[in-house]
Amino acid sequence: MLGLSSRALFLTMTAVGKKLGYRDFTEVRRKVEKQYRRPSSFAPPKKLGRFCEISLDFRNGWPCYEVSSRHKSAMSHSDSHTEVLYLHGGAYIEEIGSNHWSLIEQLAREVPARVTVPIYPLAPHGTAARIVPMITTLADTLAERATGPTFFMGDSAGGGLALAIAQRLRDAEGNPPDGLVLIAPWLDITLGNPAVADIEPRDPLLAAEPLRFAGALWAGDLDPADPLVSPVNGEMAGLPPTTVFIGTRDILLAETYRFRDLATAAGVEVDFHEAAGDVHAYPLWPTAEARRARQQIIEALASTRAA
């Protein structure tokens, strides 16, 4: 059963979800046009600098942040670092936001981890054919330099991107991560699963038609079914242990089930967390259920480090 904070969040999202999320085609198209004309800020909030070291470079020609704890003693466990590559969501058309930065701060301080955050070009400038290979190269570099465990993590579109990168890195026989963390991952941009229509009336944030529009921009010249775009269609064997978080009021639930079943059948260890009645990307929201989910993520990353 949902707690009071999650019920309040659901009611709020039901009231304003058309503008806040991706339920209305006209609104989503407006988001794309607005981002094209006047790009949103991607800078981390100023308060992050009080607790974390932040560096910025422009590898690949676009910004890439590294965030780590200011408390050096926290990062000195056996002279090793936990490396996290965090890929933000936003349907490939919206910039990183405050809820992403809050999770990044928590990972940096409490795991503790060095979190790399690429500010990848958004669609239609950024497409899967261009961005996935570039971030795969970055991911390989992070895994190669790591003195401790490495994780690829993402929410929504970023979750799909994290899986596509892990598959591509495996196929290239690069340096694999020790684990994946996928938060409400968008794994099939076509949203062709028949179960989507059953879930959609209960989802206050997402609807299939506007998401297909955004997904087509990300696909560019590629077939939307291409695993680079829709990684649920890729090969699962050989992927690292994967932790998944998904709410049942989320139209991405159907393909997340499909991923779980395909990956498990291929021998991948999948730790699946399903939150009954919760909304899209629920670990990112200010609720009791979200706090528990974030603590589970931190404990999973910290335990791998300790091992």
Position 122: which residue type?
L
d(CA 168, CA 240): 13
Residue 156, number of CB atoms within 10 A of its CB: 28
CA proximity to 151, closest of 173, 183, 119: 183
CA distance 211 to 90: 10
The catalytic residue positions are: 156, 250, 280
Report the alpha-carbon distance of residue 127 to residue 21 in Å, rounded.
21
Whether residue 193 contacts residue 216, with contact meaning beta carbons closer than 8 Å, is answered with no
To which residue do tokens 């056996």 refer? 78
d(CA 22, CA 2): 23
The total number of residues written for the chain in this structure: 307
| Tokens coding 89 | 């969501």
Whether residue 164 contacts residue 139, with contact meaning beta carbons closer than 8 Å, is answered with: no
